[in-house]
Structure 1
Amino acid sequence: MLDMIWEEQQGMEEIYQWVQWLQNSLLSHLGFTDEIILSKGDLTCHEDGGDKRACRDDSAPDVIITRIVRYDDDKRHEAFLHDIHDCMICFSEFPGVDFVTLPCHHFFCRKCIQTYCKIHVKEGTVLKLTCPDTKCEGVVSPYILKTLLAEDEYERWEKLLLQRTLDAMNDLVYCPRCETACLEDESNDAVCPSCLFSFCTLCTSHRHVGKQCMTAEEKIRKLEERLKSRQERGDQNLTDEVLSLQAIMRDAKQCPRCKIAIYSLRS
């Protein structure tokens, strides 16, 4: 009877109908008018007869559910490969085997998505290499990129992505001696993890312990130069710092003894 239900509605969700039939119709189908009491021995699966699919499974529910979900995914993927689909980039029809499915579940024909990825890598816009769907910001996974790009293109993508990620860090500076990436602290100082050079990130010279590095005007000029080099990334934190220093220079004076910016009270 379960096979019959399956055959009558192929491709539909069958498990709920099976459960409903087992709960409501099984006893009457077998000719019983009341409940059936089974002993533990009655639940043993015998290998010498009967349908082996009906053997009792002692697996935990989460294990069984995982099997069902995996089976469903496999069947859906199998059906996708044999069906015809439209590519949302070139609007052409291709069989499912010619498509690449992204982690966000959007899919595009291999030729289009390959060209799309190659262009971004060539132009260096790796941070914009996301799902081509305009309403989606899903990523193109490294595994997929490795199947679409040549070896040298994939290496370029890795280097560009690392560099863009490092450049986007507001507290990242480079050692003036060995060009190693370093983290800047709140005092505009940094220690190179490679050559251990301790330096001021504003003038790139040795740290100024207890001494003033540069005047406020010089610091503004230095930060403006750094801001100019980061404008393409839209570094708002650095912009705010420059604007704050400009406001201090406009409305405040320096203490003649400690050089801290002070505001004069006006009556």
Structure 2
Amino acid sequence: MEEEEDYYDSGSDDEYYDKVYDENDAGLDYDPEDQETDYETYASLVTKGSSCKVIRQESLLAAQKEDLQRVMELLSLREHHARTLLIHYRWNVDRVFTEFAERGEEWLYKTTGLPVKSSQNLDNSMSTPEITCEICFDEVPSRDSTVMECGHHFCNNCWTEHFIVKINEGQSRRITCMAHKCYAICDEEIVRNLVSLRDPDLAEKFDRFLLESYIDDNTRVKWCPSIPHCGNAIRVDDDEYREVECACGIEFCFSCTSEAHSPCSCLMWESWSKKCEDESETVNWISTNTKSCPKCHKPVEKDGGCNLVRCVCKQPFCWLCGEATGLDHTWTSIAGHTCGSYKEDEKDKVEKARQQLFRYTHYFNRYKAHRDSLKLETDLKNRLQEKIVILEDKKDPTSVDLSWVTNGFNRLFRSRKIISYSYPFAYYMFGDILFKDGMTKRQRELKQSLFEEQQQQLEAMTERLSLFLEEPFSSYSGDQLSEIRYKIVNLSRVTDDYCKRLYDCIENDLLGPLQHVTQIIAPYRSNGLEKASELN
């Protein structure tokens, strides 16, 4: 607490800002109006040029048709053939075009289960009044049979049974021909017509599977992970790693669909979430401070000085080595038992467990402190809105444009999130779990020092911004209001600069040299996560 008081009382605000601006040229010649212009520009880009789109239930069919149309026009295909290609390539239109250009039409169609050429004798096979179905071996009228594009001809009853089984098994997206070793995809129109004659509800289920394939099988479209589910899906235009914001307000990582967790990689965040959820360090504490009974294996904690302990199951054992003993013992030893030989590995094991527990606690406590601040600063947003209303009612010329209040809060909220996630990042980056062999001890120490310097600078700026936003500026006079506005706008800019520096450090100095494909982080965006715009 003494250190914090020294920090906040170290000179006047003017002296503090002089120091900040001397160290950061970004703050020297900055006009507060520039930040407001930046936000307006960003807002227009979100609505006009966003590279991710919201797909609602009512626009899902239109989104699917859009990609189908592109393939149908370029390759001159029927709709169900285009759908077969896109399902095979997980709705990656660019991949379909690439394979077509590099490998040719015949290879592409054969690989995906499409006929290279429709059978020229399909109509001839229907010229006879009756056929023998090679599945059930019944003689059936030709009008009660169907021939697929691959040329195989069976009775409608067998086709229908085949389709019903596949749909119920969840394989309706790629129903293949019944013929032995024929992998041609059946015409979805034929499937729909035959199944609807027997089970209209199942036919609707088939259509729903085909429609939802656009999301379930598409690497560039994912359901919003909101709970309860908002019904929206998000589509991105490329495969770049990113975090997005749905129209419902939920922010999430498009790669793993968990909450937006940058600068943690997906692997780091998954590991950290599991660690916190499982309370694994509680188990670590138990292993450090208790011994397992050699009989029932329950954990036993020693509450006295004697090293002969007894479990609740009545089994006595030696606390020093954990071996079962009798109950008789002298002042210096347990009768008939000795374990005085030094065992290096046991000492190292206990000490390592203690260090791991202390290290985890260090990072977890700071992570949790900033997460708690996030919750409290959610209430700050409501208080700031009340201040804005009061200032607007005053109709003072200095309070005509109050966007700096909202912009300052948004900067605070984003910076606070980044700091909170930076602690799980540091736990794994500088530990021996993910990068044990990626750096020497000296390299790890240097990189950790570099990172912590950037982290602490950002933390200091964020706390200062929070302090100014908490001030009762709704009661300030015109000059006082102008001063606090100037401080908040400029400090928001400096905080943004430190966020950029931290990300630059992580991407270029820490993760970059490792070239680890599983440790990619979403790039920093000054104006927040990319907001998905509506699909027209």
Structure 1-normalised TM-score?
0.49
Identify which of structures 1 and 2 has the higher relative contact order when contacts are C-alpha pairs closer than 8 Å and 6+ apart: 2
TM, length-normalised to structure 2 = 0.27
Higher helix content, 1 or 2? 2
